[in-house]
Amino acid sequence: MQSTCDSKQNADHVAIIMDGNGRWARAQNLPRSAGHRAGIDALRRIVRAAPGHGIRTLTVFAFSADNWRRPANEVAILMQLFGEFLDAETEDLVRDGVRLSIIGRRDRLSPALVAEIERSEQATQFGDALHLRVAVDYSARAAIADAARALGPNVSEENLTATLTGEDGDVDLLIRTAGERRLSDFLLWECAYAEFVFTPRLWPDFTEADLAGALADFGARNRTFGAIPAEAA
């Protein structure tokens, strides 16, 4: 987090809640699975575009802890698509210098999927163009509680921040698609000072131009972090 006011700074850490796959499929008179596949295509576009816009860390919300409440067949399709994404994209991520990390619980995922996650993380570990963090079976409240328990008597705001944000730091810009205007238990601690952009664009239709527009919006804002803007002082 910057300590001074700077409306022209880059968004080093961008987070995206990728919403609207189901609505996109319904509008196209397609099954929901088609919407999720189109959402993967959108993610692929944005991952490839992100480094060119100065983004160093991209954290995306793929599957929340609450999503287990969805119909079992849809959950199975989502997990299958996630595995397919890892299998198909790992080589390209390595080529493009993208380091992949999966955040969230793994104990409720299948052993085969966990093995695929570990393989992809290991293969991409030296990527330095972009850190792609994919949240799967993720809950921010659970992450905060786990960090507090792990720190025990050493728990403090500073130690929690270091544990939860690590080298990636706080989120600068959070984007949520499909017109929704809530965090939905995503990166609650890390978004304490984030700027928010809510767009009606459904995630499968989200493009590099939409990303550039959100970043331009971010760049025009005056982030004071509780201080007085220089012109007012």
Residues identified as active-site: 19, 67
**How many Cα neighbours within 13 Å face the side chain of 65?**
15
Q: What are phi and psi of 14, to 5 degrees?
A: -110, 135
Distance, CA of 148 to CA of 62 (rounded, Å):
24
What are the helix and strand counts (H, E) for the chain? 7, 6
Distance, CA of 124 to CA of 169 (rounded, Å):
20
Question: What does the radius of gyration of the chain's CA atoms come to, in whole angstroms?
Answer: 18
**How many Cα neighbours within 13 Å face the side chain of 106?**
12
Residue 35's CB: how many other CB atoms inside 10 A? 21
Residues 6+ apart with CB under 8 A from 18: 39, 42, 43, 60, 61, 62, 177, 203, 206
> Do residues 217 and 46 lie in contact, with contact meaning Cβ atoms separated by under 8 Å?
no
Nearest residue to 171 (alpha-carbon basis) of 199, 140, 149, 150? 140
Structure tokens of 90?
């790992």
